[in-house]
A and B are shown apart, each in its own frame.
Chain A
Amino acid sequence: MTLLTVLFSSCIGDDIIMDRVAETLKITTQAASIAAGETFQFEARFTNNIGNTEEGKVIWRSSDESILAITEDGLATAITRGNVVVAAEVTLEDGSLLKEEMDVEVSMVTVAIEQPTSRSGVIATTTFYDLEGDFILNEINGGVSLEIADNYKATDALPGLYIYLTNNPNSISDALEIGAVTVFEGAHTYEIAGVNLTDYDYVLYFCKPFRVKVGDGAIN
């Protein structure tokens, strides 16, 4: 009876998920040049070691404050003609510095750098299940569209295969669930509202019942 009692009540344990990813820092609003006397708001996105976006971590700096002054939150004021390096910096948990830099000219006109309207990548399996194919993530009105190419193929042997957008390909805990996978071969498209083109860096395929990642693709 003791054995049966133990078995009856056993035993939800803990599975450790190796979900660490490299921190990322990207400047998302850039200017090649700023007209003297004008201001420009730089923006950047920082994701931490589990892929979560963290606000307020980025510190902005200018290589020459006499040419281009910039506040810590990225509001730049062009003062006089010249060239500077604008840097976005984040101090990580271990004390190291993560930095992204760009060259900026203070001139007669302001020229913002256009951001791309699409990104692309390749889906690949990370398991012993079939999964492959190219994709393009396009900016559309009110969101993005994820176009899976005609070379796509996925196993239909798994119950509960889902597709996500995420910044951490090792976990779905903070991922955006697009939906259940219902197409297993050939081209098809998902439209995802309320998402910006630069919000996520990975497409992730995940089997819910097995609770395992099946494959992913970095969004380049």
Chain B
Amino acid sequence: MKNIFVLFSFLLFTISVQAGGGWTQPKGKGYVKISEWWLIANQHYTDQGRIDPNLTNGLFNTNIYAEYGLSDRLTAIIYFPFFSRSYVNNEISGTTGDLLTPGEAINSIGDTDISIKYGLTKNSGISVAATLTLGLPIGNDGGGSQGNLQTGDGEFNQLIQIDAGTGFPLGGTNGYANVYVGFNNRNNGFSDEFRYGIEAGVTLFKDRLTAIARFIGVKSFKNGTPSAESTNTSVFANNAEFFSFSPEVAWNVKENWGFSAGVGTALSGKIIYANPSYNVGVFFKW
């Protein structure tokens, strides 16, 4: 199964306003972002959409995300979590103070996505692009003594996505909006997914600061094997669903680089963590 949070983080945090959406990079131009994304979760959404507690689990991804314009219409993209750490806490008896179960951690690279984006429109008010993303299962899909520590899933994703975006003046400053829909074909018994999202941003302080709001959703087709029958014992279970809100700010220190920070939280979900995730990053463009 795709480590949903890895892709989740990719979708939520590594695409900043300077890249992604319905826009492609001009030929020879590029964008790179190095970021740290993390989530510490002690509760999750059940299959009924209610919140239950769980043993605290932490996941940290140090990522590099890059876009490069192969032509004015064709952009190559890579998301590479070159350091990923997953851990679970110790379990301590509240009665005796004894260590019941020792915590564990694994460190590895994470599952990596490579994409190719093609601009379907040119010199249009609305930019439309189609993207094919291949999720390469090169992370650890069964770490720890219980197999519940993951930095990947051993499952190969093929995501086809259509983005449409437009920019517009907004009260003396600039704004943009982007929507997308996608279909994620998954193997190894994991359910396919319908993905959708809407994003809007506005630039402030003479275009130095960009404030972004994103809503992202994933619906499972539930056409895979039940989670309980999966050999993957990850908490990132098959048939996970969510609808999330992810505000982010990006500050352009100079024209060609800046910082960004964001938070993401699932407003609703099924079989997915209910705690917020965070990210900070530095981006460069040329």
**Which stretch (B49-57, B161-169, B177-185, B210-218) binds chain A?**
B49-57
Select one of B55, B94, B105, B227 contacting A212, CB under 8 A: B55
A173 to B52, CA, bound (A): 21
Say whether A150 faces chain B, with CB atoms less than 8 Å apart.
no
* Minimum CB distance partner of A173 in chain B: B100
Chain B residues within an 8 Å CB radius of A212: 52-55
Q: Interface residue tally of chain B, by bracket?
A: 35 or more
Chain B residues within an 8 Å CB radius of A156: 226-229
Chain A residues 187 to 220 lying within 8 A of chain B, measured CB to CB, are 208-212
Q: Is the CB of B233 within 8 A of A19?
A: no
* Minimum CB distance partner of A160 in chain B: B233
Chain A residues within an 8 Å CB radius of B48: 128-130
A17 to B95, CA, bound (A): 8
For the complex formed, measure the closest distance between the CB of B189 and the CB atoms of chain A, giving whole angstroms. Answer: 12
A211 to B227, CA, bound (A): 16
Say whether B258 faces chain A, with CB atoms less than 8 Å apart.
no
Say whether A50 faces chain B, with CB atoms less than 8 Å apart.
yes
Which has the most chain B C-beta neighbours within 10 Å: A16, A161, A181?
Answer: A16
Say whether B207 faces chain A, with CB atoms less than 8 Å apart.
no
Q: Is the CB of A8 within 8 A of B54?
A: no
A147 to B49, CA, bound (A): 31
Indicate with 1 or 0, residue by residue over B90-106, a CB within 8 angstroms of chain A CB atoms. Answer: 11111110001101110
Q: Is the CB of A159 within 8 A of B103?
A: no
A89 to B233, CA, bound (A): 45
Known contacts A7-B36, A14-B89, A128-B46, A210 near B54 by CB under 8 Å: yes
Chain B residues 17 to 52 lying within 8 A of chain A, measured CB to CB, are 36, 38, 42, 44, 46-48, 50-52
Say whether A97 faces chain B, with CB atoms less than 8 Å apart.
no
A3 to B147, CA, bound (A): 28
Q: Is the CB of B95 within 8 A of A13?
A: no
Q: Is the CB of B92 within 8 A of A15?
A: yes
Q: Is the CB of A160 within 8 A of B148?
A: yes
For the complex formed, measure the closest distance between the CB of B172 and the CB atoms of chain A, giving whole angstroms. Answer: 36
Select one of A13, A49, A128, A173 contacting B51, CB under 8 A: A128
Say whether B250 faces chain A, with CB atoms less than 8 Å apart.
no
Known contacts A155-B47, A159-B237, A17 near B227 by CB under 8 Å: no
For the complex formed, measure the closest distance between the CB of B33 and the CB atoms of chain A, giving whole angstroms. Answer: 15
Give the total of A residues in contact with B, Cβ under 8 Å: 38
Indicate with 1 or 0, residue by residue over A121-147, a CB within 8 angstroms of chain B CB atoms. Answer: 000000111100000000000000000
Q: Is the CB of A15 within 8 A of B83?
A: no
A161 to B238, CA, bound (A): 14
Q: Is the CB of B232 within 8 A of A159?
A: yes
Q: Is the CB of B58 within 8 A of A11?
A: yes
Indicate with 1 or 0, residue by residue over A175-186, a CB within 8 angstroms of chain B CB atoms. Answer: 000000110100
Chain B residues within an 8 Å CB radius of A182: 228-229
A130 to B226, CA, bound (A): 15
Say whether B60 faces chain A, with CB atoms less than 8 Å apart.
yes
**A positions within 8 Å CB-CB of B:** 3-4, 7-8, 10-20, 49-50, 127-130, 155-161, 171, 173, 181-182, 184, 208-212
Q: Which 4 A-B pairs have the closest CB atoms?
A: A211-B55, A157-B47, A128-B50, A12-B103
Q: List 14 A-B contacts (CB under 8 A).
A: A4-B36, A10-B85, A13-B56, A13-B90, A13-B103, A14-B89, A129-B47, A130-B47, A157-B46, A157-B228, A160-B146, A173-B93, A210-B54, A210-B235
**B positions within 8 Å CB-CB of A:** 36, 38, 42, 44, 46-48, 50-56, 58, 60, 62, 83, 85, 87-96, 100-101, 103-105, 107, 146-148, 226-230, 232-235, 237-239, 270-271, 280
- In addition to A15-B90, A156-B229, A160-B146, 17 A-B residue pairs with Cβ atoms within 8 Å of each other are A4-B62, A8-B60, A10-B85, A12-B87, A12-B89, A19-B94, A19-B100, A130-B48, A156-B228, A157-B226, A157-B227, A159-B232, A171-B91, A173-B93, A209-B146, A209-B233, A210-B54
